[in-house]
Amino acid sequence: MQKLFLSLFVCFVIFSLLFGCSQPLGRDNFVESVYFSSDVGLITTLAVKDNYAYLTGAKALIVLDVSDKTNPILVSLIPSERHLIDTYVSDNYLYVGVGNLKFPNGGLKIFDISNPKEIKEIPNNLVLPETPVGIIVRDKIAYIGDYASGMVIVDVNNPNEPKILSNYTIAPPLDQNKYNEILNKAKTDYGGFKTDFAKKYSHLNITPEKMDAIVQEVGLDYIVKYLTILETNGSEPHTWWLTVKNNYAYISADADGMHIVDISDPINPKKVGQISKRGPNGEEYFFNSIALSGNYAFVAVDSHGMLVIDVSDPANPKEVKEVPAWSDTRWLKSGGHMVLSQVRGNILYLSATEDGLYIYDINNPTDPKLIQKVDKSVEKGKGTNWALAVDEPYIYTGYFDICANVNKCSSANPDAQYKPTGGFEIFKRIE
């Protein structure tokens, strides 16, 4: 139902603007782990500010005092009835997307973190079209990647009453005739409908028996709409993450690639450019997180690795280079999946799910060099490396879904046994 989802070799100048010094590569490590714990449980997103880390799992917000990076202290744990999907810190506020990827009508929790030891939720009644997967806040305006909806722009100047200013939609209009046809089939021959669905999505390990639970969880109408989009458009574009720079929003939309949207008027966002990619056999490239540096966008491309895109002309983005990470790029066979990306100075950090953390030198942005691949996190028993936050010289990562049998845990083995746990790790850049 959903896509749930470096080694070292040249001399370069690291953070020359910040530190004014050179750092040779070729060492065994560029970063080293200073802390890891699985006690915090499953972690899917995190944000860091002023020696406090804000972690979200499935249904809880965890606040850690990380003043001592080798010994973080739990400050508070705030349960939530709904899934917490993404986090973002701006000024004295923490913004947390809530919902479920399978459900429409997401929400946005806003917390006052002026006193991190006693953070307070500010109640609001905001309802989003889908589920907020990515959140960026600039000048009291939140730009929210809203899964199947697109990008929702929200005025958060008054945290008690956030207001939707506009919705940039990536999904094509629903084919009503096809929708009615599939819905009629589901209602008149539910058994046949379940069998057909399970056969079509057998690669996701969906069986007719599991279909009943799925229908009960998300509702028949949602499934029918999903199938309608797939059968009329071939795929459903999902907004996963986005980033904002100057007057533009850069939105990752799965196989639909990257949309570049003019947000100079937040009430009337307009698409100015788009880029996507297919492989030699027509296979789609799934765009995930986007990190910007100068005139270049570094895109985490799921099972492939990374794309470098020149965005100096927002209306005409151009691919500069593909940086592969794995030899087998099939989604269920790939050695990992590039998910989140962050740039600090001339260093690019990428979380790669099963395959750990990748670090690149982008001093020459058109030719990134692999500095260090931290580890294969699943094989190390940590889980799937997903959450990522960088506050130099520290790098924070979160893990989820540690396998019961780590030797069998891989995206190529969807039948592997998982435990609902994970972990939190802090790395430090070595001076």
Q: Tell me: the pLDDT tens digits for 103-143?
A: 556 899 999 999 999 999 999 999 888 888 899 999 999 99
Length of the chain in residues, anyone?
431
Distance set, CA 66 to CA 50, 52, 86, 205, 431 (Å): 9, 5, 20, 40, 20
Residue 321 CA neighbour count, 13 Å, CB half: 12
Between CA 261 and CA 253 the distance in angstroms is 12
Is there a contact between 53 and 96 (Cβ–Cβ < 8 Å)? no
pLDDT at 393 over 90: yes
Residue 149 CA neighbour count, 13 Å, CB half: 24
Percent share of the chain, pLDDT over 70: 83
Between CA 135 and CA 313 the distance in angstroms is 24
Closest-CA residue to 331 (of 237, 257, 411): 411
The string of pLDDT tens digits covering residues 186-205 is 899 988 888 877 777 665 56
Average per-residue pLDDT for the chain: 84
Partners of 84 in the β-ladder? 98
3-state secondary structure string, 280-297? Answer: CCCCECCEEEEEEECCEE
Is there a contact between 133 and 251 (Cβ–Cβ < 8 Å)? no
pLDDT at 218: 66
The string of pLDDT tens digits covering residues 325-347 is 998 888 778 889 999 999 999 99
pLDDT band of 9, cuts 50, 70, 90:
very low
Between CA 288 and CA 386 the distance in angstroms is 12
Look up the pTM and report it. Answer: 0.81
pLDDT at 154 over 90: yes
Is there a contact between 332 and 414 (Cβ–Cβ < 8 Å)? yes
Partners of 291 in the β-ladder? 298
pLDDT at 204: 56
As given in the structure block, the two tokens for residue 276 are 């996507």
Number of DSSP helices (H) and strands (E) in the chain, helices first: 5, 30
Distance set, CA 300 to CA 38, 74, 125, 399 (Å): 26, 32, 33, 18
Partners of 196 in the β-ladder? none
Out of 46-55, 217-226, 258-267, which region has the weakest mean confidence (pLDDT)?
217-226
Rg (CA), the chain: 21
pLDDT at 18 over 70: no
Per-residue pLDDT, averaged over 67-94, amounts to: 92
pLDDT band of 100, cuts 50, 70, 90:
low
Is there a contact between 133 and 146 (Cβ–Cβ < 8 Å)? yes
pLDDT at 235: 59
pLDDT band of 178, cuts 50, 70, 90:
confident
Between CA 182 and CA 271 the distance in angstroms is 32
Closest-CA residue to 36 (of 356, 391, 393): 356
Q: Where are the alpha helices (DSSP H) in 79-174?
A: none
Between CA 175 and CA 200 the distance in angstroms is 20
Helix/strand/coil percent split, the chain, to 5 = 15, 45, 40
Percent share of the chain, pLDDT over 90: 56
Closest-CA residue to 260 (of 236, 276, 238, 284): 276
Residue 298 CA neighbour count, 13 Å, CB half: 31
Per-residue pLDDT, averaged over 59-63, amounts to: 88
pLDDT at 7: 25
Is there a contact between 290 and 298 (Cβ–Cβ < 8 Å)? yes
Out of 290-294, 325-329, 405-409, which region has the weakest mean confidence (pLDDT)?
405-409
pLDDT at 221 over 50: yes
Q: Where are the alpha helices (DSSP H) in 201-255?
A: 208-218, 220-233
